[in-house]
Structure 1
Amino acid sequence: MAQLRPLPIDPLAEAKRQWLAHGWTDAADGMAVVTSVMRAQQLLLARVDAALKPFGVTFARFEVLRLLAFSRSGTLPLSSVVARLQVHATSVTSTAERLVRDGLVLREPHPHDGRAAMLTLTDAGRALVEKATAALNAEVFSAPGINSDDAAALVGIVARLRKDAGDFADPRPTPDPL
């Protein structure tokens, strides 16, 4: 996916020029926003995938492991994992099944709800997620490709977009612990 050599022009700027040339002026800025964010996501995901490859996990699997590791007991209801990761239940169930198969997570019945399941991080899962987190921190998160001021501005802009789309409400000053 990543280019070995930079392109001579920015294809997204050219796409915007074409939108304007075709008279789609009301949509040109929005098209540029959407395609820019999607391309940035591709670039960042390629870096994340490369950092996680030695551990044999995808980012989706890492997220489940990291969420469980952040919880007080290493155990969460499957429904809480779905809600906190903002992913469809089918995707989380599929991801959890792979983690169970690999011995990184246990899937157990919920103690109070016979229809629900609990996910519990195993010792192997905890060891893997700690190593994978160290790799992501060193190879991706500590140097995302923009300076800290730009990073803060970008996070703020994207947070407003997400909030306006109904992704979340303003949090309480101190969020409840996991």
Structure 2
Amino acid sequence: MAPGAPLPMDPIAEARRQWIAHGWADAADGMAAYSSVMRAHQLMYSRVDAVLKPLGLSYARLELLRLLSFTRDGALPMASASVRLQVHPTSITNVVDRLERDGFVRREAHPTDGRATLVVLTGPGRALVEKATEVLNEQVFERPGIPVGELRSMTGILARFRRAAGDFTDPAPRPDPL
């Protein structure tokens, strides 16, 4: 839900107060943190959606196009895209279907693995992802509404939470060159 007129109070702070009043003080801070992250997600997603919608993109479509643009050849096996974007293979299939219909990607047989399908970025797809990234950077990411130092702290806190939840592991350290 996009923000309208500001509420006269913070509903999450009120929910925390109610949690404490009802005897759940040990859970009140956790409830407030989870609720705050979910509301922040809604607010952030609304900003991103408002920028991408006029370009005919969703964030999921942009993520796949951007991932493909980062590869050497503009191509990835669909299964690799699913893993890297941390979404179910069915979701990748749906995104690829829409992007392919619009001419921004195409499917190709994998040259060495007969079971795999590559998703390949097209010229129009590359142009769209560059435009979308430029607009998203200018209108959202360069001015996120949180000071840079706090953004870095927030990102670090959330990364630690994600790591502890099993979202990722730290890469093995690279050996020192001889």
Determine if the TM-score, normalized by the shorter chain, exceeds 0.5: yes
Dislocated runs of 4+, deviation >4 Å? none
Question: What is the alpha-carbon distance in structure 2 between the residues aligned to residue 88 and residue 32 of structure 1?
Answer: 29
Question: What is the alpha-carbon distance in structure 2 between the residues aligned to residue 130 and residue 31 of structure 1?
Answer: 39
Query: C-alpha root-mean-square deviation of aligned residues, in Å?
Result: 1.1
Q: Does 1:128 align with 2:128?
A: yes
Question: What is the alpha-carbon distance in structure 2 between the residues aligned to residue 55 and residue 152 of structure 1?
Answer: 29
Q: Does 1:51 align with 2:43?
A: no
Question: What is the alpha-carbon distance in structure 1 between the residues aligned to residue 68 and residue 172 of structure 2?
Answer: 22
* Map 1:1-178 → 2, pairs under 5 A: 1-172=1-172
> AA paired with 2:29?
D
Give the alignment's TM-score, normalised by structure 2.
Answer: 0.94
Q: How far has the Cα of 1:87 moved from its partner?
A: 0.7
CA separation of 1:99 and 1:152: change in aligned 2, threshold 3 A: same
Question: What is the alpha-carbon distance in structure 2 between the residues aligned to residue 26 and residue 112 of structure 1?
Answer: 56
Compare relative contact order (CA 8 Å, sep 6+) and give the higher one, 1 or 2. Answer: 1
Deviations 1:107-141 (A, max 9, x none): 11112222211010000000000000001000100
SS in 2 for 1:108: strand
Counting matched residue pairs gives: 174
Q: How far has the Cα of 1:2 moved from its partner?
A: 2.1
Question: What is the alpha-carbon distance in structure 2 between the residues aligned to residue 8 and residue 65 of structure 1?
Answer: 41
Please, which runs of 5 or more residues in structure 2 have no aligned partner? none
Question: What is the alpha-carbon distance in structure 2 between the residues aligned to residue 136 and residue 11 of structure 1?
Answer: 29
Q: How far has the Cα of 1:172 moved from its partner?
A: 4.7
Give the alignment's TM-score, normalised by structure 1.
Answer: 0.94
Deviations 1:55-76 (A, max 9, x none): 1010000000000001111011
